[in-house]
Structure 1
Amino acid sequence: MEYLVAVGDEGTIAMAAQRLNVSSPSISTAINQLEGHFGIQLFVRRHAQGLSLTPGGRRVYNEAKRILGDAAALNDLANDIIDLPRGPISIGALSTIAPVVSARFRRSFEDAFPDAQVSLHMGDQVELFRMLGRAEIDVAITYDMQLPVDIDFHPLISLAPKVMLPIDHPMAEQSDVSLKALEPEPMVLLDLPLSRDYFLSTFQMANTQPNIAERATDLALVRSLVAHGYGYSLVNIGTDHTLSPDGIELAFKPVRERVKPLMLGLATMRADQRSAIVTAFFDHVAGMDVTPKRRSKPNHQTL
């Protein structure tokens, strides 16, 4: 198509060859192939006057020029996506993390990059990896648990598990809590894929076993069950407030035994090159203090 347009513009194969920096026979062969493929004559060949487009050739020439323009626009768009941190970016967050960090990440990033449009999604670890694979999200905020081989993970902060207790529990006054001492106590397990396996492995590392009395797939419900005395639980992410969703005080204590922490970070599909906006999000979040914070007022204008 480039050869066709060049010949149509220049009127001779020699001038088209000079413009494109290719040989004249290459252009002649390309024109002959196009005419054979379409089954029409594109040019009238006049030995002294060069080549002129036939009526049908003129229509093909115009369409080829439009297609080449569209292709150039796609290249420009791709370069824009790679080079400029603007436009849409879709962020997924683990359901236990999303209420704590995702909105804060979004607000901070959009304040720094006003041309960015961030959309938020939530799911468990398996769902997040599935959404990454389907290109439904660009980045996942999650833990380093059972990462697929086609996922790149970039750590942000190490989070050790804490024991969550009712405020009136006898161990709530201790500086830390032993998992062995909790063995006879009822446990409320956060029963989510991979999270469940991690918490159970924490007990294995401490050479003890939990007495699971309740299971819940929602962290807010786990907090409420603990607050109302149905047992203790283990959590990795929290906020600086210690209330259950219905306003009852909770206690959070470090685990006494040496156990493996979880690494909170950003996950993407493995690729040779990221878009500019994804790179900007990585760089921005890496420079943030990602520990949970309380803010008395949200950063928005009053309408």
Structure 2
Amino acid sequence: MPLRFTLRQLEYFVAVGEAGSIAKASEQVNVSPPSISASIAQLEAEFGIELFVRKHSHGLSLTAGGRVFLKEAQRLLSDADALHDVAGDISDKVRGPLSIGCLTTFAQLVLPSLRRSFENQHPDVRIRQFERNQGQLLEMLLRGEIDAALTYDLEVSQDIAFEPLMQLPAYVMLPEGHRLGGRDVVMPEELCEEPMILLDLPHSREYFLSAFRDKGLRPNIAERTSDIAMMRSMVANGFGYGVANMRPLNTLSPDGKPLVFIPMGGDLRPLIMGVALPNAEHRTQAMDAFVKHCRNFVGEQGVIRK
């Protein structure tokens, strides 16, 4: 007797299995919780197994059978996505799913506008986005959890291809009225006595600190944060200076206070923003279209200052 289930039901089941709750899965797939609950119940009835243990205070947890079922459902959905890719290549049409990661330090400046313009041009492509730090993005690429990542050329291994988009030098971020705010350039030596608000993210922090370490200097780290918006607000409110490579067109902090961006002198190399992808002989039509769109977007849009 043929099985009566849909890929959509499997998608909802996988979303719940990965998220650990129907509420979180509902946000991810943009479907109401009752619809997801009904789909899971239909799968359980169809296959005659219990997929989840219901815990009122702790959400859902997979049963032993549910964990096995989850792996097979993930594989089946991956195979179904591959069919979309093949169909797109055969028809020469840009379609199918894309999972795109973006570095947290500039995701809010770049990703929404870039994604909107790409999806307007290619409505048959479905994008899922992830904002992560550099280490997490590289791991997700190597594990095949995302198709590409908008990020910097920091610690990119030989297993990952990197398509450069834009060169971004380092800037010193200062509050308005700071004694160094009128300079054309600020050297690391001039900052050693100033309190520093360090953007404390894997790979990023080592890059920023190398501006001092390579000169035998030690910065005065007053605060650390993994949130660039918090760093901007801390700087704007006079708690110290920051160092960043992304200089937005709007130089106000999140709480509305003005910031000053001065080029950083010394030997700190500019970072290259680009698209990181797994090394592969073949790329889908959707992936090629996304990389091309990124190149055009960076060249035409005014979301950041070079």
Quick check: TM above 0.5? yes
- Determine which of 231, 249, 264 is the counterpart of 1:240: 249
- Determine which of 183, 194, 202 is the counterpart of 1:193: 202
Query: In structure 1, what is the equivalent of residue 126 of structure 2?
Result: 117
User: Are residues 1:252 and 2:261 paired?
Assistant: yes
Instruction: Report which of the two structures shows the higher radius of gyration computed on alpha carbons.
Output: 1
Query: In structure 2, what is the equivalent of residue 80 of structure 1?
Result: 87
1:205 CA displacement: 4.0
Query: In structure 2, what is the equivalent of residue 176 of structure 1?
Result: 185
Partner deviation per Cα, 1:203-261 (whole Å, 9 max, x = no partner): 23455321111100100111111111111010011311111111111111001224201
- Determine which of 166, 190, 193 is the counterpart of 1:157: 166
1:290 CA displacement: 5.3
- Determine which of 281, 287, 290 is the counterpart of 1:278: 287
The amino acid that maps onto 1:210 is P
| Preserved CA contact (<8 Å) 1:100 1:292 | no
The amino acid that maps onto 1:220 is A
What count of residue pairs does the alignment treat as equivalent?
223
Quote the Cα distance in structure 1 between the aligned partners of 2:81 and 2:211: 50
Query: In structure 1, what is the equivalent of residue 136 of structure 2?
Result: 127
Quote the Cα distance in structure 2 between the aligned partners of 1:140 and 1:74: 19
- Determine which of 220, 224, 231 is the counterpart of 1:222: 231
Quote the Cα distance in structure 1 between the aligned partners of 2:241 and 2:161: 34
Structure 1: which 5+ runs fail to align? 1-72, 296-303
In the superposition, the TM-score normalised over structure 2's length comes to: 0.68
252-261 or 162-171, which deviates more: 252-261
- Determine which of 114, 120, 124 is the counterpart of 1:105: 114
In the superposition, the TM-score normalised over structure 1's length comes to: 0.69
Cα gap change, 1:291 to 1:227, in 2 (>3 Å): farther
RMSD over aligned CA atoms reads: 2.2
Partner deviation per Cα, 1:42-75 (whole Å, 9 max, x = no partner): xxxxxxxxxxxxxxxxxxxxxxxxxxxxxxx999
| Map 1:24-35 → 2, pairs under 5 A | none
Cα gap change, 1:293 to 1:262, in 2 (>3 Å): same
Query: In structure 2, what is the equivalent of residue 140 of structure 1?
Result: 149
Structure 2: which 5+ runs fail to align? 1-79
Quote the Cα distance in structure 2 between the aligned partners of 1:142 and 1:219: 15
